[in-house]
Amino acid sequence: MLELRLVQGSLLKKVLESIKDLVNDANFDCSATGFSLQAMDSSHVALVALLLRSEGFEHYRCDRNMSMGMNLNNMAKMLKCAGNDDIITPSRPMMAVTPSPSCSKVQVRFTCCFAQDKIADFEMKLMDIDSEHLGIPEAEYHAIVRMPSSEFSRICKDLSSIGDTVVISVTKEGVRFSTRGDIGTANVVCRQNTTVDKPEEATIIEMNEPVSLTFALRYMNSFTKATPLSNTVTISLSSELPVVVEYKIAEMGYVRFYLAPKIED
């Protein structure tokens, strides 16, 4: 038995919108502690990890660990039918007696917050997905940058009109985003800035040692679809690891995107 009740339906809509273009099919893993997902993109260059803790739901019941394979575009289509303030309650009551996961379904109910007499029920087919789960150990990063998510999104968008890759360098000077293309080059430097009116507008740079890595802008731009989830983004860089671009989901968890760098052949 799985029962979830999420009063802020827009949150789940935003989560699906942020990952559906990167990952087609994924297993949602449910346990007593929460709802999680880990999936690679089809070229195995990027990985998304989602966590929604059980405490963040108004109601959460998961009797035993289960994995629900979903087509994320189909799930996003269904969630588009929900109003931003609708209450969303996905459930999977038949799990215990369903012989094969491939023929089972998830039921999703949207309850309109304004008209209590309007209830919409959807049923979506689940898929049998043979996905591999990668172990991501806790790691020390050479530099961690926290900045406004809208600023990061703007930089990625602007640079991608000039080049295909971005070099992210953290030095004492700040964090530098550089690209080059046929028409020329572009450099954007963000310095640490904590003297702002609101904490979410700050740029905070923690640097243990300078680091410089090259990434495909196409993926970075895809990650920025998570911008509506959080006012800030955290970018963790290490010369030995994929970059981690993290959007916190208020009081519930996070969406983390891991991207392998471009390396010298």
- Give the footprint of another protein on this chain (CB under 8 A): 40, 43-47, 132-136, 165, 214, 216, 240-242, 258, 260-265
Contacts of residue 153, defined as CB under 8 A and 6 or more positions apart, other chains included, come to 224, 227
Of 9 and 69, the one with the shorter C-beta distance to another protein is 69
Of 2 and 241, the one with the shorter C-beta distance to another protein is 241
CA-angle at 27, arms to 29 and 87, nearest 5°: 65
Up-side HSE of residue 253: CA atoms within 13 Å toward CB?
19
**Minimum separation from the CB atom of position 132 to another protein (A):** 5
Of 30 and 39, the one with the shorter C-beta distance to another protein is 39
**Minimum separation from the CB atom of position 49 to another protein (A):** 11
Give the whole-angstrom CA distance, residue 43 versus residue 183: 28
Of 204 and 260, the one with the shorter C-beta distance to another protein is 260
**Minimum separation from the CB atom of position 125 to another protein (A):** 27
Give the whole-angstrom CA distance, residue 39 versus residue 259: 12
**Minimum separation from the CB atom of position 34 to another protein (A):** 18
Secondary structure letter of residue 18 according to DSSP: H
